[in-house]
């Protein structure tokens, strides 16, 4: 038969691609199954890529709304028709952050914040929908005790960071708003806010995290467009038999892949639209977004829409370059040519070549540096994945003998290990990247996490209340002690006092001293007082300070006023340290601080003489009592609506680092779900390719359990090899990244084993899920062929 006339140029390419697309949709049930699997695989990847391209818009919209509801501090601090008195409130309920603003409009033209129709009147409160639902629930009854306002409205999306944010505005009266905690505002901010600068190590963590999270998606898309490779080769051999040349058959194959990729774009767009509409119903790691925020950035979305079809064509053409398609068959059906190693090693070498010059000199500020780090990390991870097919091929060719399931599995891998290697390539690159990120993450976490020194065994909750308007110390402490779930309450009144010179003038600013008032049992939390009795006074110097003059001495006079810039006219504001005052050794308190100053028992000084006294109460809670922490917070709110209390903690994290970590966890969760879904699709595609072979083996008497074990072994071998490669690649990349930020190289082997085990667990779970379809494919009707 004469060969078909050659078609050249763009028209020839278009005609051949169109013919391949027709084969994809007119190939009967087998053709449609192959195309739909490709479309589903590509669609899953496209969905996550579109979500990733929406992240900049989500962050931008969130920052804009945050900036818009920020009060504008009055520069003149003069009362006017548009001014408001504002105090910001923060509390915690069941580890959920609740923020609010208390306000009092001073004029009749004061504007309401974004998302609020009118300013709440005294005793009223407008809440976010999520907070409203919480307050209406049975769980929120205890929170309602802490917010003694009547709910009169709801804040719409313009005034919230996200649909699940817990936020409120509460109206107060004039008498409450004159407190020092309030400030005068002219209105609310307008326009974009300023971007927050990140330190270099956090910039690097963000860049590498994005690379690691997106790489498995790209690799899976490249894998999905190669579904049905073996059957496709036999179809291409038939095309060669009717006169098509090699180049034409490759273009037709690319057209089939292109059709699946285009359908995948449609599937991905539909899934993205569904996910976008459900965005306000989902909260991941404390973050949520409105559907309107989930909008792909134009250039990034265009890049995805163009790159995915291009990837389908390029991957198919590259995959067929090493395949000789002849009229009577393809080379792949005989012993394949050995894979080359040199170019697979060249990729990570080039990546390390880009990263090594940045060791010790990475600043995280330049776009060139960011591009260099991104390119280097991508090359290292791609190189790690590219090594997997070569390693699997090199290892399995040495397998001989063994049980029957093992022989079936190894023989299958020896005949064609490509599909099995590609199926676990996503896990390989994910684990390699996760190891590198974890090494960098551990270093950044150490630098952005501070040890507070707080002793959580001596106090679990600390309340801070200003004693004003006749509020008594004992009244507050008794209320805490009567609160269910509070085992012990230690109350100390703190006040800053100023030494007075012999001529009656106050000491220079910066020489103020702390005076702490309390019972002996409470004072022992600050110093060692073996013989404490009521009426005694103790002078405490820091343990590291040998100069006793650093603290007041017996006979010194102290000004008890909060503002002692001028000599006191009333002797009531002056107090003389008794000659009987004793020296005491300081002790680290439950909050991790070392006290320095004067300790006074009730019998030595009247509490009413202290100006600006501040009651600090440290609580020990009973873990057996439900909601003990929330009950304590409610008791505090009865005496101070500012709710300044906090739970003690061993460590404290930088807020920027906390946001980055939360973002990485969100991305990792989405990527892991994609990897699991994509592997299920890949496994189904492989089983569909072997359906007839499996049915034949069962028909000849092969036990189904033997075939099931063979499938497990076919998955296990590439997994073990892939995890070994990913560990080596991840350690190498992580070491270079740590050197870039000047951190010592340290490996958390427990975390490394956990990540490798997670990768293996995902694959094992996917393989077990595939047992159901495998059992159905081994039925006799699998012998049917079209």
Q: Model confidence over 218-265: pLDDT tens digits?
A: 776 776 666 655 566 666 667 776 667 777 877 887 788 888 888 889
Q: Which of 160, 188, 216 is the last residue of a domain?
A: 188
Averaged pLDDT, 552-571: 80
Averaged pLDDT, 139-167: 91
3-state secondary structure of 781: helix
pLDDT number for residue 403: 86
What is the biggest distance separating any 2 CA atoms in the chain, rounded to whole angstroms? 121
Q: Which range of residues forms the domain containing residue 224?
A: 13-59+198-449+655-783
Q: Which of 620, 649, 678 is the last residue of a domain?
A: 649
Query: Is 624 found in the same domain as 484?
Result: yes
**Which two tokens mark 371?**
């591009």
Query: Is 398 found in the same domain as 361?
Result: yes
Higher pLDDT, 190 or 219: 219
pLDDT number for residue 27: 65
Residue 4 lies in a domain: no
pLDDT number for residue 480: 94
Residue 480 lies in a domain: yes
Query: Is 580 found in the same domain as 474?
Result: yes
Percent of the residues in the chain that have a pLDDT greater than 90, as a whole number: 19
pLDDT number for residue 411: 83
- Distance set, CA 148 to CA 126, 452, 637 (Å): 12, 33, 9
Within 13 A of 66's CA, how many CA atoms are on the CB side? 13
Query: Is 315 found in the same domain as 250?
Result: yes
Closest CA to 204 of 365, 379, 58, 428: 365
CB atoms within 10 A of CB 600: 25
Averaged pLDDT, 32-38: 75
CA dihedral sign of residues 477, 478, 483, 488: positive
pLDDT number for residue 324: 59
User: Is the pLDDT reported for residue 452 higher than 90?
Assistant: no
Residue 8 lies in a domain: no
User: Is the pLDDT reported for residue 154 higher than 80?
Assistant: yes
Q: What's the alpha-carbon Rg for the chain, to the nearest Å?
A: 35
* DSSP track, 682-725: HHHHHHHHTHHHHHHHHHTT--HHHHHHHHHHHHHHHHHHHHHH
pLDDT number for residue 37: 73
Averaged pLDDT, 624-641: 91
**Which two tokens mark 523?**
């004072």
Residue 664 lies in a domain: yes
**Which two tokens mark 553?**
């001495």
Query: Is 617 found in the same domain as 529?
Result: yes
User: Is the pLDDT reported for residue 592 higher than 80?
Assistant: yes
Domain count of the fold of the chain = 3
Query: Is 740 found in the same domain as 645?
Result: no
Query: Is 323 found in the same domain as 414?
Result: yes
Residue 240 lies in a domain: yes
Within 13 A of 80's CA, how many CA atoms are on the CB side? 13
Q: Give 689's pLDDT tier (boundaries 50, 70, 90).
A: low
pLDDT number for residue 332: 46
User: Is the pLDDT reported for residue 23 higher than 90?
Assistant: no
Residues 6 or more apart in contact with residue 42 via CB below 8 angstroms:
221, 224, 225, 260, 261, 263, 264, 265, 267, 268, 308, 312
Residue 64 lies in a domain: no
pLDDT number for residue 1: 45
Query: Is 718 found in the same domain as 617?
Result: no
Residues 6 or more apart in contact with residue 738 via CB below 8 angstroms:
439, 440, 443, 744, 745, 746
Residue 588 lies in a domain: yes
pLDDT number for residue 672: 67
Query: Is 765 found in the same domain as 632?
Result: no
pLDDT number for residue 309: 86
Averaged pLDDT, 71-93: 88
Q: Which of 649, 682, 708 is the last residue of a domain?
A: 649
Residue 193 lies in a domain: no
Query: Is 532 found in the same domain as 602?
Result: yes
CB atoms within 10 A of CB 631: 20
Percent of the residues in the chain that have a pLDDT greater than 70, as a whole number: 81
Query: Is 638 found in the same domain as 507?
Result: yes
pLDDT number for residue 333: 43
H or E segment to which residue 733 belongs: helix 704-740
- Distance set, CA 563 to CA 83, 245, 502, 598 (Å): 28, 95, 19, 18
User: Is the pLDDT reported for residue 509 higher than 80?
Assistant: no
pLDDT number for residue 93: 92
pLDDT number for residue 160: 93
User: Is the pLDDT reported for residue 145 higher than 70?
Assistant: yes
- CA distance linking residue 232 with residue 237, whole number of Å: 9
Higher pLDDT, 128 or 80: 128
**187 in Cβ contact with 80 (< 8 Å):** no
Residue 571 gets which letter from DSSP?
Answer: G
Query: Is 206 found in the same domain as 172?
Result: no
Residue 778 gets which letter from DSSP?
Answer: T
User: Is the pLDDT reported for residue 613 higher than 80?
Assistant: yes
Averaged pLDDT, 176-196: 72
What average pLDDT does the structure give for the chain?
80
Higher pLDDT, 361 or 343: 343
């Amino acid at each position: 038969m004469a060969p078909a006339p050659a078609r050249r140029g763009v028209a020839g390419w278009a005609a051949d691609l169109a013919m391949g697309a027709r084969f994809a949709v007119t190939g009967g049930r087998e053709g449609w199954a192959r195309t739909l699997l490709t479309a589903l695989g590509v669609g899953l990847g496209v969905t996550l890529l579109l979500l990733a391209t929406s992240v900049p818009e989500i962050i931008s919209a969130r920052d804009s709304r945050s900036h818009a509801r920020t009060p504008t501090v009055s520069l003149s601090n003069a009362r006017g028709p548009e001014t408001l008195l504002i105090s910001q409130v923060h509390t915690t309920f069941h580890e959920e952050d609740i923020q609010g603003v208390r306000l009092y409009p001073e004029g009749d033209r004061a504007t309401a914040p974004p998302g609020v129709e009118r300013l709440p009147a005294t005793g009223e409160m407008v809440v976010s929908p999520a907070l409203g639902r919480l307050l209406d629930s049975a769980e929120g009854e205890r929170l309602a005790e802490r917010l003694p306002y009547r709910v009169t409205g709801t804040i719409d999306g313009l005034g919230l960071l996200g649909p699940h944010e817990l936020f409120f505005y509460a109206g107060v009266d004039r008498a409450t708003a004159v407190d020092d905690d309030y400030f005068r505002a002219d209105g609310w901010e307008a326009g974009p806010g300023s971007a927050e600068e990140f330190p270099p190590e956090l910039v690097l963590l963000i860049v590498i995290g994005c690379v690691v999270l997106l790489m498995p998606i790209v690799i899976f898309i490249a894998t999905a467009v190669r579904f049905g490779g073996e059957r496709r080769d036999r179809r291409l051999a038939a095309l060669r038999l009717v006169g098509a040349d090699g180049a034409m058959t490759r273009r037709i194959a690319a057209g089939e892949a292109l059709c699946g990729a285009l359908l995948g774009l449609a599937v991905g767009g539909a899934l993205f639209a569904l996910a976008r509409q459900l965005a306000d119903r989902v909260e991941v790691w404390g973050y949520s977004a409105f559907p309107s925020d989930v909008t792909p950035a134009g250039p990034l979305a265009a890049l995805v829409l163009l790159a995915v079809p291009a990837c389908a064509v390029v991957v198919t053409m590259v995959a067929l370059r090493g395949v000789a398609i002849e009229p009577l068959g393809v080379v792949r059906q005989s012993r394949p040519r050995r894979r080359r190693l040199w170019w697979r090693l060249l990729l990570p070498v080039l990546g390390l070549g880009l990263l090594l010059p940045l060791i010790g000199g990475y600043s995280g500020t330049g776009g060139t540096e960011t591009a260099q780090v991104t390119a280097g990390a991508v090359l290292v991870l791609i190189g790690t994945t590219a090594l997997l097919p070569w390693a699997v091929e090199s290892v399995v060719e040495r397998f001989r003998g063994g049980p029957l399931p093992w022989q079936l599995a190894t023989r299958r891998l020896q005949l064609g290990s490509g599909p099995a290697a590609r199926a676990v390539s996503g896990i390989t690159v994910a684990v390699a990247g996760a190891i590198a990120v974890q090494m960098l993450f551990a270093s950044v976490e150490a630098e952005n996490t501070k040890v507070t020194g707080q002793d959580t065994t001596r106090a679990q909750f600390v309340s801070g209340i200003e004693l004003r308007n006749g509020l008594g110390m004992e009244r507050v402490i008794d209320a805490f002690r009567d609160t269910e779930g509070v085992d012990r309450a230690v109350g100390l009144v703190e006040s800053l006092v100023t030494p007075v010179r012999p001529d009656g003038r106050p000491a220079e600013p910066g020489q103020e001293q702390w005076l702490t008032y309390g019972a002996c049992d409470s004072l022992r939390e600050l110093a060692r007082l073996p013989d404490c009795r009521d009426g005694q006074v103790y002078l405490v110097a820091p343990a590291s300070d040998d100069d006793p003059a650093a603290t007041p001495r017996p006979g010194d006079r102290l000004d008890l006023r909060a503002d002692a810039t001028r000599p006191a006219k009333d002797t009531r504001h002056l107090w003389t340290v008794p000659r009987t005052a004793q020296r005491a050794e300081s002790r680290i308190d439950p909050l991790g601080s070392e006290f320095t100053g004067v300790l006074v028992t009730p019998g030595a000084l009247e509490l009413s003489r202290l100006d600006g006294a501040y009651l600090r109460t440290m609580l020990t809670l009973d873990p057996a009592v439900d909601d003990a922490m929330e009950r304590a917070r409610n008791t505090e709110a009865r005496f101070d609506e500012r709710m300044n209390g906090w739970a003690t903690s061993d460590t404290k994290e930088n807020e920027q680092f906390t946001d980055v970590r939360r973002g990485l966890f969100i991305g990792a969760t989405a990527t892991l779900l994609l990897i699991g879904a994509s592997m299920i699709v890949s496994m189904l595609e492989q089983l569909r390719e072997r359906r007839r072979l499996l049915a034949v083996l069962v028909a000849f008497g092969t036990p189904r359990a033997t075939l099931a074990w063979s499938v497990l072994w076919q998955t296990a071998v590439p997994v073990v090899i892939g995890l070994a490669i990913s560990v080596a690649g991840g350690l190498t990349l992580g070491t270079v990244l740590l050197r870039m930020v000047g951190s010592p190289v340290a490996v958390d082997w427990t975390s490394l084993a956990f990540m490798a085990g997670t990768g293996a667990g995902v694959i094992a779970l996917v393989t077990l899920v595939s047992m159901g379809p495998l059992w159905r494919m081994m039925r006799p009707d699998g012998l049917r062929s079209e």
